[in-house]
A and B are shown apart, each in its own frame.
Chain A
Amino acid sequence: MAVYIHDTHIISPLGFGTRENFEAVVSGKTGIAPVFMNDSIGSVYAARINDEVLDRYFQSIDAMFKGSRIEKLLIAALTPVMAKNGIKENTVLVLSTTKGNIKALENHDLHSAFITQLAQHINNYFGFKTEPLVVSNACVSGVMALSVAKRFIETGGFSDAYVVAVDELSPFVVSGFQSFQAMSSEPCRPYDAQRSGVNLGEAAVAAYVSAENRPDGVLMAGEAHINDANHISGPSRTGEGLLLSIEKAFKEAGITARDIDYISAHGTATLFNDEMEAVAFHRAGIQQVPVNSLKGYFGHTLGASGLLETVLAAESLKNNMLVASLGYESPGTTQPLNIIMKPEKRLLKMVLKTASGFGGSNSAMVLIKN
């Protein structure tokens, strides 16, 4: 059974709407700027959604709503997609997030920090008739959530699905990444020789997924999620898990390395992640394929990143337009890659999306234009 990604919506620092976000990245706009976090942390380069802009936008969605900011982000992402597709008896909400409403802990509100609370509120708000399905699997969650939706639809567990992903910029996460010495003190530079770490970001994304064959649908042709089984925070030096994920995704899609037109990679701009990806791509035989990371535009949006970047990869496919890998100037990995340096119109049919995350997780998904 073929399962497709149909309508989507993005809420990010670069705008509200998939089209708006895609046009922004094509024209090289970035959402990364100095952001003041709090007195302990000070300012860091990050991509933050402006609260006033968000609130103004949200007024037109639900002026009476009185929930948390993260709930607003999810509702804002899901509303337009829901309006076009509706809910059936067996439609499921699949939520991807790494930390959910973790900011509630700052106010000693443990109850609100439960991801189950967040999921239930959104599920109730839109009137889903099934229990929500929540994936919390580090930074591969967004791609994994799409896979989970696809797999359940294939087996008839659900008829269709709304896959949503969100994470907020928070002192909780920034402080943690700082303790890892993983943050860059400048705008991040994925794959670049001078790269020095991540910028964090936030976004909310929604995608409607079903087996219906619509002309604009993007097929999820193959996908896999294989662990490195190596280290809980550092990626495997040989890119083992990522390589296996890519190979298995190819196998399910019935394609080979030669068929891939573009890779939307993870590219967090840490020394180890980008190097690992380069090793894995070489081993998979896709080192010549044009590749980018979108982290230079949005920062690392954690649980949202997998879905955000997949949705934009689908836009590249539909528009036959390669987007530049912002922040890159010169090769910084021992095995060279074909990094996209400027936007380029090109006929695209098949895209590979990859992601990696803490805990040794990796994900790969093959997307094919209809």
Chain B
Amino acid sequence: MEALKQELKERIIEVLNLEDITPSDIQDTDALFGDGLGLDSIDALELIVLLDKEYGIKLADPKQGKEIFQSVETMAAFIAENRTKL
């Protein structure tokens, strides 16, 4: 799980173009949206693509994203449970 979280942080920084941020800047339980990393609606959509492309998870309903993307912690838990790509 730790490796997955680290990988997630790196991937999030890369696909969302978070230039001046390093994985160690992101705590597992930091809020990704709202006040935390301040991600916006396009970022949320991009994370949906990330789930599909890297982990083979297609969300049945994009609205599920709100719960899943709360933090790196929640994302990792969801991925560990649902991934179809290793």
Residues of A within 8 A of B (CB): 179-181, 231, 233-234
Contact = CB atoms under 8 A, between A and B. Distances in A.
Interface of B: 40-42, 45, 48-49, 62
11 contacts: A179-B45, A179-B49, A180-B45, A181-B45, A181-B48, A181-B62, A231-B40, A231-B41, A233-B41, A233-B42, A234-B41
Contacts of A234: 41
A60 B52 CA distance: 49
Q: Binding site of B, secondary structure by majority: helix, strand, loop or mixed?
A: helix
Contacts of B42: 233
Given A179-B45, A180-B45, A234-B41, 8 more contacts: A179-B49, A181-B45, A181-B48, A181-B62, A231-B40, A231-B41, A233-B41, A233-B42
The prevalent SS among residues of A at the interface is loop
Contacts of A233: 41-42
Nearest to B48: A181
Most chain A beta-carbon contacts within 10 A, residue among B45, B49, B62? B45
Nearest to A272: B41
Contacts of B48: 181
A180 B62 CA distance: 10
A57 to B, nearest CB: 39
A179 B48 CA distance: 9
Nearest to B46: A179
B41 to A, nearest CB: 6
Contacts of B41: 231, 233-234
A194 to B, nearest CB: 15
B50 to A, nearest CB: 12
